[in-house]
Amino acid sequence: MAVPAANSSLSRPIEALVNTLADSATFRSLVGAVDADGAKTKIFYPAVDDSLDSSDNLINGRPRAIINPPTSWMKSRLGGDYQCVGNVWLSFEIDPIGDTFEEQAMNLCNTLGAIIDEMWDLAESRSGPYLNIVEIALADGPGPNTPENDRGESFQGAIYSIGWQ
């Protein structure tokens, strides 16, 4: 079944966030995508399927981004116009880059920082199908994580709260 088009004030911000992230040159480079459509295959909503293939590898391997459902949403009237505001969580999962913990930590911060900066710049451009981002707050990380599975694979990541209107 095909994913329905985003056609409401609750779903359009999610689609706009996907477009904004997919147009980040750093995110495209990180996931090995040549264009935004390729990058979108590494962005998941509202969760990611962590099933394994026949070689015991994740079918939706890292690096990847996961957009969680809105944590807040409000539609209000301002004058004669309606305005929507809300927040969504954006998670990144990345395999460590570098040989030492210090190299891995700095590479993670540099990579995620560049992605966030590019998303902010795209949002500020007010052109294209981008999310009108008004706030980006670090909710967890950046740092190492261990998923809740029996494989015990470690990865690096961070979770951001993205405020939009």
Instruction: Please name which of 34, 26, 150, 47 lies closest in space to residue 89, comparing C-alpha atoms.
Output: 47
Cβ atoms 82, 90 nearer than 8 A = no
Q: Phi/psi at 25 (nearest 5 deg)?
A: -60, -35
Q: How would residue 3 be classed by pLDDT, with cut points 50, 70 and 90?
A: low
Q: How far apart are CA 65 and CA 19, in angstroms?
A: 12
Whether pLDDT at 1 is above 50: no
What pLDDT sits at residue 148?
56
What pLDDT sits at residue 34?
97
Q: How far apart are CA 38 and CA 14, in angstroms?
A: 18
Q: How would residue 146 be classed by pLDDT, with cut points 50, 70 and 90?
A: low
Q: Which residue has the tokens 């880059």?
A: 97
**DSSP line for 41-78:** TTEESS-----B-TTS-BTTPSSEEEEEEEEEEEEEEE
pLDDT one-digit tens code per residue, 18-52: 999 999 999 999 999 999 999 999 999 888 887 88
Cβ atoms 39, 52 nearer than 8 A = no
Q: What is the percentage of the chain residues whose pLDDT exceeds 90?
A: 47
Radius of gyration for the alpha carbons in the chain, expressed in angstroms and rounded: 17
